[in-house]
Amino acid sequence: MDVSRTYDVLILGGGNAALCAAITARRAGRSVALLECAPKHFRGGNSRHTRNFRCMHDAPSDGLTDTYPEEEYWQDLLKVTGGETNEKLARITIRFTATCRKWMAEHGVRFQPSLGGTLHVSRTNAFFLGGGKALINAYYRAAEALGVEISYDTEVTDLNIDDGRFMSALAVRHGIEQEVRAKTVVAAAGGFEANLAWLREAWGPAADNFLVRGTPYNVGRVLRILLDKGAKSIGDATQGHCVAIDARSPKFDGGICTRVDCVSLGVVVNESAYRFYDEGEDFWPKRYAIWGRLVAGQPNQIAYSIIDAKSVGKFMPPVFPPIKAATIGELAVALKLDASVLESTIGQFNAAVRPGTFDHTVLDGCATEGISPPKTHWARRIDTPPFFAYPLRPGITFTYLGVTVNERAQMMLQDDRPSPNIFAAGEIMAGNVLGKGYIAGIGMAIGTAFGRIAGEEAARCAA
Amino acid sequence: MPPSAIPAALVEEGQRMASICNACRYCEGFCAVFPALERRLSFAEGDLTYLANLCHNCGSCYYACQYAPPHEFQLNFPKMLAEVRGESYKKYAWPATLSGLFQRNGRVVSLITAASLVAFVLAMLFFSDPSALFSAHSDSQGSFYAVFPHRAMAWIFGVIFLMVTAALIMGSVRFWRDIGEEPATFLSPGPFAKSVDDAARLIYLGGGGDGCTYPDDKPSYARRRFHHLTFYGFMSCFAATGVAPVYHYVLGWSAPYPFWSLPVMLGTLGSIGLLIGPAGLLWLKERRDSALTADSQTGMDVAFLVLLFIVSLTGLLLLVLRETAAMGTLLAIHLGVVMGLFITMPYGKFVHAVYRFAALVRFHVERRRPSPGLSAE
């Protein structure tokens, strides 16, 4: 970054949305500087951990099967958000995904058929070859080749905003604070999920037991500054994408491999060794996103997924080995649970299992009767040793609290005027479309659509 | 069964890394390694040597890896596989007592080559008239055999060829058994044909569409192109060597053959490939991202490439200068390095071709078996 000049477009952030904005603005002929707070190795924000994005399409292509029309996409989004979405912005995103794959491919992104164990999204989600980091690498190469000035290890510490108009940014690099001037700014710096203090503010002490599945660099600095300086907020600080992940995962940055996919095959107990939710409510891909919250609601935010030998090899292999024991009592000891309570929980569960034909690929008829909570599908007795357990904790992936935008990606001010030269894209504004709940691949869809819109609008504004 | 030779710490590290990859699976589209890995829930030593030899070391997975260093998982999957691969060469070497030749292989190959060069010069001085060795001969005089009897040449290379073939076959048998396959499955026609196709086109140096990330993170087809020149150059020279005995014994034509004859044409084209290919591969290797190089193997790789280069260089010089007084000396040098190349084939970088091909066959054999797979969740 060159502090002596005034850039046309300044991009805050270095993930998918930031790069889409940077490349678009640069291709429109504008001078562009991009400030990424992570070092080069960890560049890309949470996009680094993604693997696909949800695509509207009317014919199979790029690994996508069948068709996924706009209306179905919209209904899926409406269902998970319970209406906490802006239809206009949602439909812009959806329509964008129908056409943006060509642009992505032109900038080096490659697609592949859905990965092993992810057949359920082969129709709706286009997978990036090599995952999100490969996509990010391709975009950085494209951005560099186009002449976007990229600055790593550069954290934005303040923004000079005058009556909703961006003037300059203060950024610290290698301990030196400098002022970067630009005609327009695109805020694409993600949410605050890695800011433990902010999570605690929203969730209370329970947040101390959360694991942050994504990048440690999303501490919400830019979001905080914008909210403090007149941006109209959207969403609720406790809303986010939060799944139950292996409790042994790293505090930050564990990514995809920390998932545990055997919940629907067994039972889940809390630290008192009691079950607390229907493990077989629906297919796991439709339920995994609620289990982070469910575990967050349990004492000390810990739970244990327990299966028996029948389920081995029937789910995606987790990264950590299971805790294994020959009897339920021994398993309880290994998990430091009360053995008699766990034996009685499993005993009652086993006694409640009704006969049925187990089939994990359909909503089968295997259910319990007479216990609460019930297990409504895939209920099989846990009776075949050895027994296995995976400890679970809430793993927060991204947060939905953000800034409101309009259809031109302009950031809205508290008095409902759009800022003349502040644009927002990606997770920092995803709450406009996804206010609640989660569907796979929506984050990258929003980031790509609004990243490109923000880049285009900023380029026009800086002309 | 060959003795377990891979250091336990390396196997453990391999198992740790493979478990992370199996849980992540993002790299599935790059090559055959990840689909093969996903068929497994645990990774025995034989599984790791299989995956290691299936890996073409293109680097795409490393650059795409969200867990690559400095991430705390310290996942450098291709480098680990390269180390396992190096160890597996020792493990499967036949006879086992010679597996030590893979230790400091660069030096070993250089010494053996130097020794065979000296042996050839001495043999020529012994077999032929020293005055013939250092004077010019016309092609019509059967220049080569004027300095070195055909019979001796045929015997020496015939015996070495048989020994090398035996060692390579035994090595691949040991590999095939250790990864858990029955001998008969190796010759399954479908998988075998598919593997020939994969190897002939080097599809796994394609990195999933834009070339492999070699020598750095930018996808490029440079490595595939240089490898093609090397491989087809080698095959062309090999074919020349195969045609020449037919000329000699069947047709009764004595070498040296005219420039436009089949052996010379094949040899010349092959040698040109074997000059440019290895030189290009060396040039790329020099620029290779150090994060991905297994230092213990650089010597082996370089020695093989340099040897190929010298073989083709001396061969071409011999062609050009064969009617001059330098011919005798050049012939001794050329035959010496060719012999060095042949002797070290089962104990150097060449074995990668054998094990990688076998691993490809295993991959295609396995693909035709029902997947132990997971229900569609």
Residue B263 makes CB contacts below 8 A (sequence gap 6+) with: B240, B241, B243, B244, B247, B255, B257
Same domain, A201 and A298: no
Check B35 against A116: CB less than 8 A apart: yes
Q: Which residues of B touch A130 (CB under 8 A)?
A: 26-27, 29-30, 60-61, 63-64, 208
Residue A423 and residue A421: Cα distance in Å, rounded? 6
Same domain, A159 and A249: no
Nearest-CA distance A115 → chain B (Å):
7
By the 10 Å C-beta count (0-12 exposed, 13-18 middle, 19+ buried), A450 is classed as: buried
Taking the CA atoms of residue B279, residue B282, residue B287 and residue B290 in that order, the dihedral angle to the nearest 10 degrees is 170
Share of chain B above pLDDT 90, in %: 72
- How many angstroms separate the Cα of A25 from the Cα of each of A7, A239, A406? 11, 31, 19
- Specify the number of domains making up chain A: 2
Residues within 8 A of B (CB atoms), A 127-156 only: 127, 129-134, 137, 141
Residue B39 and residue B21: Cα distance in Å, rounded? 12
Same domain, A156 and A273: no
Residue A166 makes CB contacts below 8 A (sequence gap 6+) with: A159, A160, A182, A184, A185, A419, A421, A422
Residue A131 and residue B60: Cα distance in Å, rounded? 11
- How many CB atoms within 10 Å of residue A66? 11
What is the distance of C-alpha B124 from the center of its chain?
Answer: 30
- How many angstroms separate the Cα of B222 from the Cα of each of A138, A284, B215, B283, B284? 18, 44, 9, 11, 8
Same domain, A255 and A376: yes
Same domain, A262 and A348: yes
pLDDT tens by residue, B86-133 = 999 999 999 999 999 998 899 999 999 999 999 888 888 887 777 777
pLDDT tens by residue, B132-183 = 777 777 766 566 777 777 888 888 889 999 999 999 999 999 999 999 999 9
Check B63 against A137: CB less than 8 A apart: yes
Nearest-CA distance A15 → chain B (Å):
13
Hey, which residues does A325 pair with through a beta bridge?
Answer: A387
Check A261 against B377: CB less than 8 A apart: yes
Residues within 8 A of B (CB atoms), A 264-283 only: 264, 283
Residue B248 and residue B141: Cα distance in Å, rounded? 15
Residue pair A285/A261 in contact (Cβ under 8 Å)? The answer is no
A1 falls within a domain: no
Check A130 against B60: CB less than 8 A apart: yes
Pair of tokens at residue A443: 């984050």
pLDDT of residue B2: 46
* Domains of chain B by residue range: 8-93, 97-356
How many Cα atoms occupy the beta-carbon half-sphere of A43 within 13 Å?
28
Angle at A206 between CA A202 and CA A212, to 5 degrees: 80
> pLDDT-based confidence at B375, cuts 50/70/90?
very low
pLDDT of residue B173: 96
Check which CATH number belongs to the domain holding A302 and give it.
Answer: 3.90.700.10
Residue where a domain stops, chosen among A395, A411, A439? A395
For residue A59, give the amino acid letter.
A
A104 falls within a domain: yes
Whole-number CA gyration radius for chain B: 23
pLDDT of residue A306: 98
Check A116 against B376: CB less than 8 A apart: no
Residue pair B171/B354 in contact (Cβ under 8 Å)? The answer is yes
Interface test with B, best of A257, A260, A265 (most B CBs within 10 A): A257
> pLDDT-based confidence at B374, cuts 50/70/90?
low
pLDDT over 90 at B327, yes or no: no
pLDDT of residue B141: 59
Instruction: Look over chain B and give the mean of its residue pLDDT values, rounded to a whole number.
Output: 91
Nearest-CA distance A165 → chain B (Å):
37
pLDDT of residue B376: 34
Using CA coordinates, name the residue in chain A closest to B36: A116
Same domain, A228 and A282: no
ipTM field: 0.94
Residue A11 makes CB contacts below 8 A (sequence gap 6+) with: A18, A21, A22, A25, A32, A33, A34, A35, A148, A185, A186, A188
**Cβ of residue A253 closer than 8 Å to a chain B Cβ:** yes
Helical residues (DSSP H) of chain B, grouped into ranges: 8-24, 33-38, 45-54, 60-64, 77-92, 105-127, 130-133, 143-147, 150-178, 189-201, 222-245, 262-287, 295-320, 327-344, 351-367
Pair of tokens at residue A292: 């982070």
Residue where a domain stops, chosen among A375, A395, A415? A395
Nearest beta carbon to residue B375 from set A110, A312, A361? A361
Q: Which residues of A touch B374 (CB under 8 A)?
A: 116-117, 313-316
- What 3 state SS string does B34-92 have? HHHHHCCCCCCHHHHHHHHHHCCCCCHHHHHCCCCCCCCCCCCHHHHHHHHHHHHHHHH
Q: Which residues of B touch A264 (CB under 8 A)?
A: 377
Check A129 against B29: CB less than 8 A apart: yes
Check B23 against A134: CB less than 8 A apart: no
Same domain, A152 and A14: yes
pLDDT of residue A342: 98
pLDDT of residue B377: 33
Whole-number CA gyration radius for chain A: 23
A430 falls within a domain: yes
By the 10 Å C-beta count (0-12 exposed, 13-18 middle, 19+ buried), B242 is classed as: exposed
Residues within 8 A of B (CB atoms), A 420-449 only: none
Residue B200 makes CB contacts below 8 A (sequence gap 6+) with: none
Same domain, A48 and A156: yes
Domain B97-356 listed as CATH 1.20.950: yes
Q: Where is A182: in which H helix or E strand? A: strand A176-187
Q: Which residues of A touch B69 (CB under 8 A)?
A: 41
Q: Which residues of B touch A42 (CB under 8 A)?
A: 70-71
Sign of CA dihedral A99, A102, A103, A104: positive
What is the distance of C-alpha A274 from the center of its chain?
Answer: 29
Check which CATH number belongs to the domain holding A208 and give it.
Answer: 3.50.50.60
Interface test with A, best of B12, B24, B47 (most A CBs within 10 A): B24
Same domain, A143 and A220: yes
Q: Which residues of chain A are modeled with pLDDT < 70?
A: none
pLDDT of residue B207: 82
Same domain, A111 and A229: yes
List residues of chain B with CB under 8 Å from any CB of chain A: 19-20, 22-30, 35, 38, 41, 60-61, 63-73, 208-210, 217-218, 372-377
Nearest beta carbon to residue B377 from set A41, A250, A315? A315
pLDDT over 60 at B373, yes or no: no
For residue A394, give the amino acid letter.
P
pLDDT tens by residue, A90-106 = 999 999 999 999 999 99
Residue B150 and residue B252: Cα distance in Å, rounded? 13
pLDDT tens by residue, B299-318 = 999 999 999 999 999 999 99
| Tokens 């949470």 sit on residue | A46
Which domain, by its residues, includes A357? 243-395
Residue where a domain stops, chosen among A395, A417, A447? A395
A139 falls within a domain: yes
Q: Where is A398: in which H helix or E strand? A: strand A387-399
A128 falls within a domain: yes
Check B28 against A117: CB less than 8 A apart: no
